[in-house]
Structure 1
Amino acid sequence: MHTYFIHESSYIDENVSIGEKTKIWHFSHILSRTTIGANCSFGQNCVVGPNVIIGNGVKVQNNVSIYEGVEIEDDVFLGPSMVFTNVINPRAFIVRREEFKKTLLKRGCSIGANATIVCGITIGEYALIGSGAVITRNVKPYALMAGVPARQIGWVSRAGNTLNFDHDNIAVDPFDNSRYQIDDDQLNELV
């Protein structure tokens, strides 16, 4: 007996691993050699794979395709209709399957609706990508990114709240009173 849920309208290919309590909703397709962790959720009309690795606790909203070359760590959020690419210079008349670039989404980051992630980059832990942003280069952990092309407009906490810093470059997230400090243009969570 399966310990996960697959809607009857979805397709799961051979050689797929799906963790317990994961839910895959309407009209989705999981291609072969894909690994999906536990407690994940995929909205309707998602395509995943082949050869994709997804961690635990990942939430994928409607109309998202996760292509070969994308790796997603635990607790990542992918907003509706956000887009991954896998080739830098696509042409319909040239097959470039051997040129797929690796894209890595680190633990806890969130990608807003309709954002585009150009292949070959890494998005740092707990970064927040605004809706509609186009990410063309690596993103620092905890960075708040917006625009086309995206630029960093601030910092966010682990809980995703925008941080405001005092004269010592320290910020407190009112959600859980966690403290953060900017040091050498990097955000560090204080213990």
Structure 2
Amino acid sequence: MKNRTGLDIRIAKGVPLAVVALAAFATTAFPSARAADLTAAEQCDREAGSEFDLTRNRAFPAVATQDIRIGIALSACREAYNQNGGARTQFQLARVLDRAGQKLQSQRVLAEAAKNGHALAMVGYGEVLAERGETEAAVSLYQRAAAQGNILAARYLAATPRDGVATNVDDEVASQWLARADTDRLPR
């Protein structure tokens, strides 16, 4: 009887440890119930939302470019895109494609998001156009994005005359953009 009591005590002490171990295994082996409930667009938001995107889904923390988990983000954002995701999804897919090294596909999708009015995509695609020497088209995108409140676009516009990027922006307009960019704060 004494041995049985000792065994019962050891088993009773071991049960909580087994439960904790099983719970730890379950959290790593299976996706959380919350993740399973997310739509493809929400998963894309969670995996690829930029801190500079004013339209970012604030239910999820921003993801720095270097922290994008390419496999997960690419799968979620492609699925959301194929389900006719909007301009934000297009921008996020372009961001993930760029991170994955798929530059041409990224630029194509980024152009699509810019065309559909996504301000941060306009800034990004404006950079692509400026690199190609299409400065007037780039400045036009920066102006549209800045009109939506994008600070990065305002900063680009402020720098364009100084950098010789655009000839149709005078010093007064540039200093107005610079003042706006200095008074606004980047989103956190």
Q: Same fold (TM over 0.5)?
A: no
The structure showing larger relative contact order (alpha-carbon pairs under 8 Å, at least 6 residues apart) is 2
Higher percent of residues as strand: 1
TM-score w.r.t. the length of structure 1 is 0.25
Which has the larger Rg? Answer: 2
TM-score w.r.t. the length of structure 2 is 0.25
